[in-house]
Structures are given as C-alpha cells and as structure tokens.
C-alpha cells in the first residue's frame, strides 16, 4: 500500500511538472501592470495609494501611483489590497515535515523526501514566500540543489532558493543519531567534521555538489535548569574561523545553528553571516553582532509550535519553559539593536504556515514595519540578493504579493496572501478585473 501511494504521488508530481513546464514560459515574458488600492515602499515605510507596478520580462520596470502602460500589457486590477514584495523565509527545511524528525530521515528514502521537498517548496510559494534559505537537508545530501535546479529551470513552482546541502556537525553532535542503538549504525543527519581541516574538506565537498552557503551546528541540545539555559558548544573560535575563511574563499558565507553561550559568542567572534535561533546572546555577543553586521534569525514559530506539539506532556512543559526564556531574551535583543532577519524553521510544522513568524516578532517587541524590513531588506542581504529582491523598485525581480488590509497596522494579513507573482509569472490569484 505504501509503495502504491508513493507511486501515485510520483505520477501526480510528474504531471504537475509537465503542466508547469508547458505554461510557465509564455507568462514570464509579456508585459503586466498590477493595480491595487495600496503599495508598500519597504525602505521608507510609506504606503502609496493607489499603487501600480509595471512588469516586463520578469522584472519591475516602473512603480508609482500611476505608471505608463506598455502597449499590449495585461492590466490586472487587484482591488482593495496592498502590494508588497514577495516574502523571504531565511530558515526553512524543505526536506522535513511534521512528525518524528529522526524517524522520517530513517524511514523515508531520499527520492521520496526530494519529491516531498518539491511539494513543500510549492506550498511555501503559494503562501507568498518567493525566496528562501534551505538550512540543511537532514541527511539528504545535496538533494536540495536538485530541487533548486528544478525550480530555476521552470520544471516545478517554488521560491528562489539558497541551499546548503547537509549541515555540518561533530561526531556525537546535535544531528548525530545518538538516540538509536549504536550497533545499528544509523547515519547522522549531518556531515561529520571534527577539526578545522575537517570543516574545510566538508565545505569543499558541499560546494562541489552545488551548495550556495555553509550551515554548521555550533551548539548541542538545549536544556533548562533553575531558569538557566545550558547548551554545549561544538566548535572553537579558531575552527569556525577556518570555516568562515574557506567559505569566503569560495565567495559564500557561513550560517550557524547557535542557541546559547558560549557558542553564540564564538560564532560572532569567528565572523559568521547569521546566528540561527539565538536564544541567548550575551551583551558582548550582541556588541560583536552589531559591529560586524551579523544577523540573528530567531525562529520563534518553531519554539512556539513545540510548546503544544511535542510527543509528551513533559516535553511540552520543557518546550514552554525554553520558549518563555527565548521570548524574554528576544526582547533584550530587540532593545539592544541586534539586526534581525526573518526565518521560521518551517518543516517540523506545516509548510505554507510560517507567516506566524511575523505575528510573533511583532507580539514580542518589534513594530510591523521593523519586521517587514527585517524580512525583506535584511533577508535579501542575507541571501545575497540585496539588489534583486525585497523591494518594489525598477530592475528588481517581479516577485510581488498582495494582501488584504494594511500590514503596517495588522501584520496578521500576511497569513492571507491573495495573489503571488514570481519573476513576472502569476502563480496564485486570479485578477478581480481587467
């Protein structure tokens, strides 16, 4: 039965690929003018009313209250909505879905997980996320590069992707199969590297296989005791610096999973591009991050989700304790002026639902505009596309969404994306009028 279901899934995906390939090319070249009641100018925070965007050959050519309509352009009147750039999720796991993470990576084949990753990418795009960083395939090697290639060549719909392949970890570290019987030799969900030289070798191999950036686990499992967070570090400053230097030689950057001290400080001292999760940052770590323009990616949604979706009541209680601690520390980081990017850690919770991250960042201390700028401006910088995405400006990719209402007064409207365009192609939402 399982094999039959999987064959049906593969056939459905193949049919969708053929349909997408047949329809995508013509739509990306013709001129389109989008008209809406409002348009958000992200860098200034101004709402332009009404708002129009002219698109040709997948790029934005004009923005304003009224723009020139090229001859033969399709005029799409979206009505009482706000236009803004496609959303960015700087921390996703396309190769994970809700359920036991350790078991799904053991029980599901890499081909099956790759097909599911394509479906996850489609769901994220439909939710308005037109660009993402895939933060490790959890044992599927460089399969995320194949997903990225399928999207980039028009075989299947999905966001623009930056991919890391497997994350890198120490023997017995955060993603190693430490809960299983050692005699069964269950593989780690990450690539082993136990020294500076090992990190360099792993980075070179992943770069060869198509990785866009490097993901390293710097801290191990989180525990709470008497209100204090404990999380062991995995690499020294010198080891992380070797990884950062090698990544720079290859023209890319390092992102680290680092939840607490001293691992978060070691990462900042080494000069990484982003500190993922960042539950605990000391004053010195925050100073280094400000001085070196290192982004924190809080992933509040993941922590909130497991306060109610852990396997046992006891684990829910522990997750709640950690989440409460994280919220307190997040408020400190916002007050200290740490630069944020928006990443949800989606995968362990359903793909397409990660706009909850915007709500939580506002709930716990940031203004809606600050969160949108963290997502669209900082996210574009973190992904290396600062001059390509994240703003509605001439020359930028025509990655555009529409939401009801005004996101500057109610950030929750981002959970109700009504229209999605990526690269000039309308992928969700029929126009209200022409």
What is the crossing angle of helices 196-208 and 237-249, to 10°? 30
Residues 6+ apart with CB under 8 A from 372: 40, 42, 84, 358, 407, 408, 411
Residues 360-376 pLDDT 10s: 999 999 999 999 999 99
CB environment 159-169: b (16+ within 10 A), e (fewer): bbbbbbbbbbb
Residues 36-58 pLDDT 10s: 999 999 999 999 999 999 999 99
Question: Is residue 258 in some structural domain?
Answer: yes
Co-location of 154 and 41 in the same domain:
no
User: Residue 157: CA atoms inside 13 Å, Cβ hemisphere, count?
Assistant: 27
Q: What is the pTM of this model?
A: 0.92
Co-location of 76 and 117 in the same domain:
no
Question: Is residue 77 in some structural domain?
Answer: yes
- Give residue 6's pLDDT: 38
Question: Is residue 3 in some structural domain?
Answer: no
Co-location of 166 and 235 in the same domain:
yes
Co-location of 162 and 285 in the same domain:
yes
Is residue 305's pLDDT more than 70?
yes
Co-location of 168 and 295 in the same domain:
yes
Co-location of 394 and 333 in the same domain:
no
Question: Is residue 20 in some structural domain?
Answer: no
Cα–Cα dist 55/59, whole Å: 6
- CB 272, CB 255: distance < 8 Å: yes
Q: How many domains does the chain have?
A: 2
Co-location of 144 and 73 in the same domain:
no
Co-location of 325 and 287 in the same domain:
yes
Is residue 3's pLDDT more than 50?
no
Co-location of 291 and 405 in the same domain:
no
- Give residue 196's pLDDT: 98
Co-location of 282 and 403 in the same domain:
no
- Give residue 188's pLDDT: 85
pLDDT band, very low/low/confident/very high, at 127 (cuts 50, 70, 90): very high
The residue segments making up the domain with residue 408 are: 31-85+390-428
Is residue 22's pLDDT more than 70?
no
- Give residue 430's pLDDT: 61
Residues 219-273 pLDDT 10s: 999 999 999 999 999 999 999 999 999 999 999 999 999 999 999 999 999 999 9
- Give residue 176's pLDDT: 84
Tokens of 263: 């691992």
Residues 144-194 pLDDT 10s: 999 999 999 999 999 999 999 999 999 999 888 778 888 888 888 899 999
Question: CATH number, domain at 37?
Answer: 2.30.40.10
Question: Is residue 157 in some structural domain?
Answer: yes
Question: CATH number, domain at 163?
Answer: 3.20.20.140
Q: What is the largest CA-CA distance in the chain?
A: 70
Co-location of 188 and 311 in the same domain:
yes
Is residue 26's pLDDT more than 90?
no
Of the residues 382, 399, 414, the one at which a domain ends? 382
Question: Is residue 18 in some structural domain?
Answer: no
Across all residues in the chain, what is the average pLDDT? 92
- For 300, the enclosing helix (H) or strand (E) is helix 300-305
Co-location of 419 and 276 in the same domain:
no
């Amino acid at each position: 039965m399982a094999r039959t279901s999987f064959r049906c899934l593969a056939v459905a995906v193949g049919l969708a690929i053929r349909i997408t390939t047949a329809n995508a090319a013509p739509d990306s070249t013709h001129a389109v003018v989008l008209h809406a009641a409002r348009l958000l100018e992200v860098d200034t925070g101004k709402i332009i009313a009404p708002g129009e965007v002219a698109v040709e050959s997948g790029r934005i050519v004009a923005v304003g209250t009224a723009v020139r309509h090229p001859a033969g352009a399709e005029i799409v009147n979206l009505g009482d909505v706000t236009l803004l750039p496609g959303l960015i999720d700087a921390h996703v796991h396309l190769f994970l879905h809700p359920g036991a993470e350790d078991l799904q990576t053991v029980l599901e084949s890499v081909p099956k997980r790759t097909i599911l990753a394509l479906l996850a990418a489609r769901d994220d795009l439909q939710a308005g996320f037109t660009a993402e960083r895939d933060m490790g395939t959890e044992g599927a090697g460089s399969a995320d590069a194949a997903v990225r290639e399928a999207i980039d060549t028009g075989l299947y719909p999905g966001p623009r992707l930056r991919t890391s392949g497997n994350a890198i970890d120490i023997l017995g570290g955060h993603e190693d199969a430490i809960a299983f019987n050692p005699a069964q030799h269950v593989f780690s969900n990450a690539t082993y590297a136990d020294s500076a030289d090992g990190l360099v070798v792993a980075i070179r191999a992943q770069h060869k296989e198509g990785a866009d950036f490097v993901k390293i686990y710097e801290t191990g499992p989180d525990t709470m005791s008497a209100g204090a967070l404990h999380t062991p570090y995995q690499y020294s400053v010198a080891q992380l610096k070797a990884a950062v230097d090698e990544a720079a030689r290859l023209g890319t950057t390092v992102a680290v999973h680092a939840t607490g001290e001293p691992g978060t400080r070691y990462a900042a001292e080494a000069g990484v591009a982003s500190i993922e999760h960042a539950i605990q940052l000391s004053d010195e770590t925050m100073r280094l991050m400000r001085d070196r323009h290192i982004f924190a990616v809080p992933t509040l949604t993941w922590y909130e989700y497991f306060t109610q979706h852990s396997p046992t009541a006891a684990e829910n209680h522990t997750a709640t304790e950690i989440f409460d601690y994280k919220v307190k520390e997040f408020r400190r980081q916002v007050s200290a002026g740490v630069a944020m990017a928006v990443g949800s850690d989606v995968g362990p919770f359903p793909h397409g639902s990660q706009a909850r991250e915007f709500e939580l960042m506002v709930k716990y201390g940031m203004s809606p505009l600050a969160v949108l700028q963290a997502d669209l401006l900082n996210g574009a910088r973190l992904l290396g596309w600062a001059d390509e995405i994240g703003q509605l400006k001439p020359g930028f990719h025509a990655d555009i969404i529409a939401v009801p209402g005004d996101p500057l007064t109610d950030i929750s409207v981002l959970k109700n994306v009504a229209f999605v365009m990526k690269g000039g192609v309308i992928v969700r939402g029929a126009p209200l009028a022409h």
